[in-house]
A and B are shown apart, each in its own frame.
Chain A
Amino acid sequence: MFGDFAELVLENVTIELDELKIALRPMVQQMARAVAHPAIEIPKSLIPATFKKPLGQYTQSIQEITLGATKGQGGTRGNTITIGGHTAPAWDLFQAPPKHVPIVAADVFDMPISLAKMVKMHYKEVLDDPAEWAKLVVNKFGADAVTIHLISTDRAISDTSPNDAAKVIEDVLQAVKVPIIIGSAGDPVKDGPVLAKAAEVCEGERTLLCSATVDVYEDIAIAAKKHDQLVLSWTSIDINQQKELNRRLFDWLTPEQIVIDPTTAALGYGLEYAFTIMQRMRIGGLLGDEELRFPISSGTTNAWAAREAWLKNPELGPRELRGPIWESVTALALLLAGGDLFMMMHPAAIKTVHDLVGWMKERQQIKPEEYPDWTTLTIPEGV
């Protein structure tokens, strides 16, 4: 089978014998290799080789940020939570496990809002009571922290006052003992005064104020400085904008007061942009960038913007599973990119992130024989 084809090639050229192999076209090469088989000696036993851990060199650690303050620290929280502090890319356990594991903050709103049905079903009893809502997410869903979103302060919604907002915050502080996070409505006129008031009523609590943006940051930074609070520096999928905003915040804040958020887009609807920016921020921080060395927050609830998460369509399978798996996979991708703080809603997705963090936080000794032989597994039919 080798003969004719090889001759055809060889007719037109004069080459040295050891060049012959490479002169042949790939197909001929393959045939040649098949013919040449007997020449290779089969080793009698395994030829040992060793593997060297591919350690990286990083010059700086991610900033540690502590949320909340206990009585002894001037606040009223039952516990504090520290995030960040990493010395390696996310989950590169061979290099270093995470210094502090990522946490979940559950979203609570100060008024009933429209939610995907699969989310709403878990909250319908508490939609008009933020304090009860906060208790539910902490006591029943296991949230590490609570984010109270003051959306009613928006001029286009209910235009409630900063003092009204303060009342809601006080109720939530009373209702739960975990650290709390304050979210503004996204109203350029109201956000500053509302978050300034929040910083004041949370005096001593070391709460995270969300968010400072390139348009609205000064009032928030000033209030955070005055009342020793934390600030979420929120930008929109633009790493240079993130650096710029952080530089501006440095005028008022110390590195212990900044958490960054480059915006979370849903799985299937721009997740890759969030993923890559978070990964670049984490690595940039480790490699010495002073403007990016901060723990990263993700508004993971945005996963529900994907229609595949909530559409009622039997062809796509039960949305009771599709919705929470969508939020879970969005979170998982961003966990692996380097997220530290996940703002979430569906109880199953919250539990999944806690599970994942537990499963990934350190290497296990797994013996070769403990890996199952999946080639012979019996899986129930029709499943």
Chain B
Amino acid sequence: MAKLPGPLEIYPLLPGTNCKECGEANCMAFATKMAEHTVKLKACTPLFEDAKYAKKLEKIQVLVRPPVREVVIGVGENAATIGGKLVLYRHDLRYSNPTSFFIEVPDNLEAEVFAARVKAIEDWTYVYIGTNLRLDGVALRGVSQDPKTFATAAKKLAELSDWPIMLCSLNPEMLATAAKTIADKRPLLYAATMDTWAEVGEIARKHNLPLVAYAPGSLDNLSSLVNTLRAIGLDDIVLDPGTASRTGLGTTVDDFTQIRRSAIIEDNELLGYPSLATPISVWADHREGEAPELTKWDEVLTASALIVRYADIIVLHSLDMWTNLPITFLRSNLYTDPVKPVAVEAGLMEFGDVGPDSPVMYTTNFALTYFTVESDIKQGNVDTYLVVVDTEGMSVQSAAAGRKLTADKVAETLEEYKVAEKVNHRILISPGMAARISGETEEATGWTVKVGPRDSSGIPKYLQEGKWKEE
């Protein structure tokens, strides 16, 4: 496997002046963080600005270059950075740059419909553990097959939105006109093929744009295509080995896996670029009159498989909540830093202006359980105490089944954080999933246990109704 450099290899290539411009105490501290991939080289500004470090800069850029290059699509704060992958398995370190989701817009839509679709893409969102899940870019498809229509649509799109754009057509003439129109937006060109590499390569070179190398069905062909594009002087390359769904899904997953494994484990520079998947391809199998939900179902499966297996950018048609919630969740999950603790600290949390009459609930210290409960209590807007029981980072259901959440544990926690001194009642609201230990908990604690909702989404209503106080 490609070896990631350690601090002692990085340190000699830094200025060594301990100037602190990067925000670290000294160059060694910066080198250590570089090795952990928690800071970026560009934070060391003297290295880039002072010509006397030129040689060091050249060497360190090669040293720290990830086995999968980074490619930037778009400009400004919405630009999408893809690739930059360091490891094959997330447990080897972590995955960086979450898969970018680009949603397609045909170039031949009527103006109003076009604008509405772009707005819908930008507006798609869902709140998940305190963050807004979102999509990332717009893929403009040259359905019209008319260069002028395509270029006009590109211009329109760039006016409507400052999101990153992908220009999609296998016809070089289409790409040439559209690229010329919006080159300053740094769109991703899709695609150079075995037949069109010279023309499309020239467009990319002329406008200094990233481009996709598309060679389906053969990794030899893909390697040759990239080899040729590199010879032209291009380096902002994205790989598309072709996406087949349904019976072809295993082959596609296998192609993506081979590409990434080759780049990371065998240091194959030719394929050390981000990869692109097109779950939208499932629509080629959609038949008129067929329920679109079936095709969308396949699109979700294809997207999910390739989010797991190394796609750095995917192109989708579907814009529904039921299709895009599972894939945005999946992306969030897999791109979470695996060293992030599973557990939060046990203790007594207070929400709002708590007093002696406030309700007392309890939950476990599994991070996701805790954050979900926290957000639901806040949403309910009722002043509440929350006792967090140490279950070694397990959810309520697993902890109750696995005996990490017991009546004695609950009693100990109430005792330790002196909850009885905070309130003038002895009523404890238990998670619905822990109902089976409520009897034992009453015995162990001497408190009356009221069983709360089975899912914490029921908490706001439960607290607002205040039924926990009733006899």
Contacts and interface: CB of A to CB of B under 8 A. Distances in A.
A76 interface: no
B330 interface: yes
Nearest to B235: A33
A34 B91 contact: no
B48 to A, nearest CB: 6
Name the prevailing secondary structure of the B interface residues. helix
Nearest to A315: B321
B412 interface: no
Chain A: interface residue count, which band?
A: 35 or more
Contact of B262 (A52, A270, A366): A52
Contact of A371 (B106, B242, B327): B242
Interface stretch (B14-22, B303-311, B352-360, B381-389): B303-311
Contacts of A37: 205-206, 233
A47 B304 CA distance: 34
B280 A317 contact: no
Interface in B159-204: 168-170, 190, 194, 197-198, 201-202
A49 interface: yes
A367 B221 CA distance: 12
A238 B431 CA distance: 24
A383 B104 CA distance: 12
B347 interface: no
Contacts, number: 293
A381 B113 contact: yes
B223 A43 contact: no
B426 interface: no
A4 interface: no
A368 B89 contact: no
Interface stretch (A66-74, A138-146, A167-175, A303-311): A303-311
A302 B205 CA distance: 51
B398 A263 contact: yes
A308 B324 CA distance: 12
Contacts of B439: 156
A282 to B, nearest CB: 11
B451 to A, nearest CB: 12
A133 interface: no
Given A316-B321, A374-B284, A329 B223 contact: no
Nearest to A155: B436
A222 interface: no
Interface in B294-317: 297, 300-301, 304-305, 308-309, 315, 317
A359 B251 CA distance: 9
Contact of A308 (B225, B247, B329): B329
B394 A268 contact: no
B253 A366 contact: no
B231 A47 contact: yes
Contacts of A52: 262, 266, 268
A236 B394 contact: yes
B349 interface: no
B395 A363 contact: no
A332 B301 contact: yes
B397 A305 contact: yes
A333 interface: yes
Interface stretch (B75-83, B138-146, B414-422, B461-469): B138-146
B56 to A, nearest CB: 10
**Among the interface residues A43, A51, A380, which one has the most CB atoms of the partner chain B within 10 A?**
A51
Nearest to A31: B208
A78 interface: no
B445 interface: no
A112 interface: no
Interface in A68-103: 91-94
B254 interface: yes
Nearest to B113: A381
A255 interface: no
A186 B397 CA distance: 11
B322 interface: yes
A166 B347 CA distance: 44
B366 interface: yes
B31 interface: no
Contacts of A372: 281, 284
A316 B322 contact: yes
A49 B224 contact: yes
Given A56-B261, A377-B280, 15 more contacts: A9-B51, A25-B48, A46-B194, A47-B224, A54-B262, A91-B253, A275-B333, A279-B91, A280-B91, A307-B457, A329-B300, A368-B215, A374-B315, A376-B142, A383-B292
13 contacts: A54-B258, A188-B403, A269-B395, A275-B334, A276-B91, A307-B456, A321-B322, A329-B330, A356-B249, A364-B250, A364-B251, A368-B242, A380-B292
Query: Considering the complex of A and B, which 4 residue pairs feature the smallest CB-CB distances, nearest first?
Result: A317-B322, A360-B250, A372-B284, A371-B216
